[in-house]
Structure 1
């Protein structure tokens, strides 16, 4: 089975086109090498998929014949992504929220509109 079809059938991407684009951009590696969308997937291959700033590490257990339900995905792959990666992602999200408190620095577009509306009403 092709790698783009495998990633689509194991529900890493919503469409095959999205999986194909990820392969073309170099976000998918099999056994440490970037691959084209037409590369075949075999049992015991190690796949690394870069998605949402996270490197998902997968081991292929079996190749499905078609797209599988979310409950059956674990039959065909083993997710070996370290838990620290997800914890780092959560910390980055919290840090992003703390970067600028409301009312500090330049106003956002919405805040600017609110200020303009307030000034127009007072005149």
Structure 2
């Protein structure tokens, strides 16, 4: 059974652009292996569950294979399989974002212009 360092696997699976970024995120506790915090040197093998908190709903994937070489995206996508819970959570979060009101719609007039600021200052007595 092949095993590979976690930071190398995250880099090869294209979750992070560089290994040093992967190491930083692992050190911050944003990457879990089998629901436990891990070190960059922790070895992962096929069947392990890796949770990556890059976005609001964390991505939870099952390791399908290991590769120490960073290849093209379609090849890297074969190294893992996203769990059904993770897919449903991401779809639900996307739907909530879609249904959320646009914050800029509440601002009717926008920022005050220079003339408006002068009027405001005049009314305040400055």
Range into which the TM-score falls when normalised by the shorter chain: 0.7 to 0.9
Aligned residue-pair number: 114
TM-score (norm 2): 0.75
CA RMSD of aligned residues (A): 2.6
- Structure 1 stretches of 5 or more lacking a match? none
Q: 1:62 to 1:88 in 2, by over 3 A?
A: same
Counterpart of 1:90 (choices 89, 94, 100) is: 94
Q: CA deviation at 1:89?
A: 2.5
**2:40 is equivalent to residue 40 of structure 1:** no
2:12 is aligned to: 9
Q: CA deviation at 1:85?
A: 1.7
1:69 is aligned to: 72
- Matches of 2:20 and 2:99 in 1, distance apart? 33
Look at both structures and tell me which one has the larger radius of gyration over its CA atoms.
Answer: 2
Structure 1 moving runs of 4+ over 4 Å: none
Contact 2:6 2:41 in 1 (8 A): yes
TM-score (norm 1): 0.76
Any idea what SS the aligned residue of 2:78 has?
helix
1:103 is aligned to: 107
- Structure 2 stretches of 5 or more lacking a match? 119-126
- Matches of 1:96 and 1:13 in 2, distance apart? 29
